[in-house]
Amino acid sequence: MKLNQHTSDAIVVTPLPDGMFQLSLQNNTDHSLVFNLDLFYHCLSKQREVLARSECQGICFRLSGAFRAEDYRQRVQDATDASRIPLRSELMALTRELFLSSKVRILQFDQLLTGEALSFALQFDRRIAIGKGAGLSFADCAYGILPGWGALPRVLQRGKAIYYIPAFVKGVTLRNSALSDSGLGDGYYDTWEEARTHEEHMALPQQWTIGEQGQQGVQFISERTQGRSLYEQVLQSAFQDLNNATVSGLLIREHFAYLRLLKSAETKRRLRVSYYGIREVRRKSEAHKTDFSPRRLGVIGAGMMGAGIAYQAAKSDIQVTLQDVTLEQAQRGKNYAEKVIARLLRNGEIQTESAEQLLQRIHPTDSLTDLMDSDVIIEAVFEDFALKSELVAESLPLLSSGGILASNTTSLPIGNLSVNLDQAHRFIGLHFFSPVDRMALVEVVRGEQTSEETLGRALAFVDRLGKIPIIVNDGPGFYTSRIFFHYLLEGVSMLLQGVPIQRVEESAKEAGMAVGPLAVLDEISLPLMLKVYDQYPSLTNSQQRVYHYLRQLVEQGRTGRRAKRGFYSYEPGQTKHYWTDPELPVVDEEFDKEELGFRLLAVMALDAARCLEDGILERPIDGDVGAVFGLGYPSYTGGVFGLMDSVGVDRFISVCESYRNYGEQWVVPELLKRMARGKERFDEGLDALS
């Protein structure tokens, strides 16, 4: 019987000693097979059939070979399809029956399990990983999908809160030591041949107090999320429901939460940007990408950005020459890689031999000529136009014959930096995000003279690094920096308007941003922000007001975190605290946090629409992916264009016009007005993306 017929006959049953039975489901094909609700049902019904035998004391279920989660569109459809209700009801009954069984159930598996396969794995009393590829992926949680079918109650009986709660909140993957440490893994073997079938796992595991685990879950979620997204609200409610709940009650509540999320508009927005959107921007990249495999990378500037790029390239098996003005500074850049690797070694995510080989690929130097014959050279010094222009010109002759030259500039137009280059067609912008080893996005900035060949090679390089590329066209601030500057500007504008600093920062975080705008300014330093503004050809009245205020703070020595004085005060040995400027107006009114938070998100969305109108962006999905994965824009919105769609373009325009007295940043572009007249949307739904 073929496995993909999804019948219980595909599961082979073998008696074992001590009253145990082995159930085996194998995928012996060269491609992964779908683990969907139908296969889930057959796996559970076969277990019930075997457990019902009087001689059976327990089962060991072997799941071997590659299984993939069902397509998200199909899962969303299944959640709303009335014809699937009988199957879901039967699955619920089976889940409850097996959950209450007094006979031990053990799972052995050799692949990464996600989707329904993850929910299936979490139902067992014990889980044994076979081989380095085995693991549990909570990736669906990052899209706002809760594992169902008894997964949450079972995890709460076994898991350790410090591990399993982040899995549900952040969507992490657990492998190797992390799987064991989490309490969700009970053993590991290199091969099936080495795996003992069941002897040491016969006893049922220690049961944790569900109510206690639920309280830990509520506390963790409260501390690390703001509860703005539906997923966060549902997840917190699920943990709160754990106290004094019966098994049947828990399973029913979990199932309704599972269905509610799959049916929600928020989940569809998350999937559009975080799953289908990434596939779409990668497909666009593939259309431009050339057959280019760089062997040598030169990085100019060994600060945090340059050091991060060097580490990422060395990790991708590229030889890196890391240059700075002194050998000591260049070596400090290499030390960054050593720190990252030390953490990976502690977590068991890299072997010692691989770590040593990675470090040997990074070659610090104080001589620019050591970059000779590099296939890619990236200038990564601080945002100073004169310095960057000089280094770009000096670097061009050092390239190999087919090499490309890039700048990691945050905001300086590529066309301006290359104006004196005799081969400007070989120059492009590669805007990485910090920290490079953790941030997935690279903004690929195509200058007016950048050739298609250079674009293709740059995309091949970004792909080699394992990053997500969005292609944007040139202009001051490009796309991500440009809209982010509006976020920072609006935070300062709120202060000048009389909003207390604490209210500004809390509103931003409660809206879903990881860091408030004023804390960001302190981190990047106020003088650097002024330099960025100095590069703009002109400033609006609103920007000038912010510029002059920032200059006043700099003149007072309040330049940011490094100076221990900025919008916050940083006293030694104390937690940073808000600083209140006595010169600013005090407005005797209550500022609504939700409105302020929306205002900070909306000002970025509005400028993203201008970027689309100006041709900086070519498609809305590029803007959404860039905002979420480059700037930390909250994924529950679906990105900047997703936010406008969720509000409705008509209503979004009305809100922006009501803010018009706050400054020119709220002027609505003609593009949005045309869309409102035509009742158009940016997002045509999940079916519009592959």
Find the mean pLDDT for residues 119-132.
91
Contact indicator for 76, 267 with CB cutoff of 8 Å: yes
Strands 296-300 and 173-175: unpaired
Find the mean pLDDT for residues 5-19.
78
Compute φ and ψ for 297, nearest 5 degrees: -120, 135
Give the count of beta carbons closer than 10 Å to the beta carbon of residue 162.
12
Q: List b or e across 54-90, with b for residues whose CB sees 16 or more CB atoms inside 10 angstroms.
A: eeebbbbbbbbbebbbbebeebbebbeeeeeeeebee
Residue 303 has pLDDT above 60, yes or no: yes
Highest mean pLDDT among 126-135, 226-235, 289-298: 289-298
Compute the distance between CA of residue 379 and CA of residue 362 in angstroms, rounded to an integer.
16
Confidence of residue 596 (pLDDT cuts 50, 70, 90): very high
- Token couple for 674: 């045309």
Residue 186 has pLDDT above 90, yes or no: no
Find the mean pLDDT for residues 498-514.
94
Highest mean pLDDT among 124-133, 231-240, 432-441: 432-441
Q: Which residues contact 374 (CB under 8 A, 6 or more apart)?
A: 296, 297, 298, 321, 398, 399, 400, 403
The per-residue pLDDT for 646 is: 93
578: left (phi over 0), alpha (psi -120 to 50) or beta: beta
Confidence of residue 182 (pLDDT cuts 50, 70, 90): confident
DSSP states of 603-662 as a string?
HHHHHHHHHHHHTS-S-HHHHHHHHHHHH---GGGTSHHHHHHHH-HHHHHHHHHHTGGG
Percent helix, strand and coil across the chain, each to the nearest 5: 55, 15, 30
Compute the distance between CA of residue 334 and CA of residue 329 in angstroms, rounded to an integer.
9
More confident of the two residues 362 and 215: 362
Compute the distance between CA of residue 525 and CA of residue 529 in angstroms, rounded to an integer.
7
Contacts 24+ apart (CB under 8 A), 350-354: none
Compute the distance between CA of residue 177 and CA of residue 185 in angstroms, rounded to an integer.
9
3-class SS of residue 231 = helix
Residue 158 has pLDDT above 70, yes or no: no
CA angle 622, 623, 624 (to 5 degrees): 95
The per-residue pLDDT for 585 is: 87
Residue 243 has pLDDT above 70, yes or no: no
Compute φ and ψ for 607, nearest 5 degrees: -75, -25
Give the whole-number percent of the chain exceeding pLDDT 90.
Answer: 68
Residue 467 has pLDDT above 80, yes or no: yes
- Token couple for 654: 């009305």
Contact indicator for 34, 85 with CB cutoff of 8 Å: no
Q: Which residues contact 494 (CB under 8 A, 6 or more apart)?
A: 504, 596, 599
Give the count of beta carbons closer than 10 Å to the beta carbon of residue 468.
20
Name the DSSP letter for residue 5: G
The rounded mean pLDDT for the chain is 89
Q: How far apart are the first and last CA of the chain?
A: 32
The per-residue pLDDT for 180 is: 79
What is the arrangement of strands in the sheet containing 126-130, beginning at the earlier edge strand?
12-15, 20-26, 58-64, 104-109, 126-130, 187-189
- Token couple for 472: 């944007």
Residue 668 has pLDDT above 50, yes or no: yes
3-class SS of residue 428 = strand
Residue 5 has pLDDT above 50, yes or no: no
Lowest-confidence segment of 149-163, 303-317, 477-491 by average pLDDT: 149-163
Q: How far is CA 308 from CA 170, 337, 522, 648, in A?
A: 23, 7, 21, 40
Give the burial class of 290: count Cβ atoms within 10 A of its Cβ; 0-12 exposed, 13-18 middle, 19 or more buried. middle
Compute the distance between CA of residue 672 and CA of residue 662 in angstroms, rounded to an integer.
19
The per-residue pLDDT for 1 is: 33
Confidence of residue 241 (pLDDT cuts 50, 70, 90): low
The per-residue pLDDT for 4 is: 46
Calculate helix-pair angle for 352-360, 304-315, nearest 10 degrees.
120
Please report which helix (H) or strand (E) contains residue 446, including its range: strand 441-446
3-class SS of residue 62 = strand
Query: What is the Cα 348 distance to its own chain's centre?
Result: 22
The per-residue pLDDT for 279 is: 94
Predicted TM-score (pTM) of the model is: 0.90
More confident of the two residues 505 and 203: 505
Compute the distance between CA of residue 682 and CA of residue 279 in angstroms, rounded to an integer.
18
The per-residue pLDDT for 227 is: 64
Query: What is the Cα 430 distance to its own chain's centre?
Result: 19
The per-residue pLDDT for 567 is: 97
Residue 37 has pLDDT above 80, yes or no: yes
Compute φ and ψ for 584, nearest 5 degrees: -80, 155
Compute the distance between CA of residue 28 and CA of residue 66 in angstroms, rounded to an integer.
9
More confident of the two residues 68 and 574: 68
The per-residue pLDDT for 3 is: 45
Residue 667 has pLDDT above 50, yes or no: yes
- Residues 605-644: tens digit of each pLDDT: 999 999 999 999 999 999 999 999 999 999 999 999 999 9
Give the burial class of 34: count Cβ atoms within 10 A of its Cβ; 0-12 exposed, 13-18 middle, 19 or more buried. middle
Find the mean pLDDT for residues 310-332.
97
Q: Which residues contact 340 (CB under 8 A, 6 or more apart)?
A: 311, 437
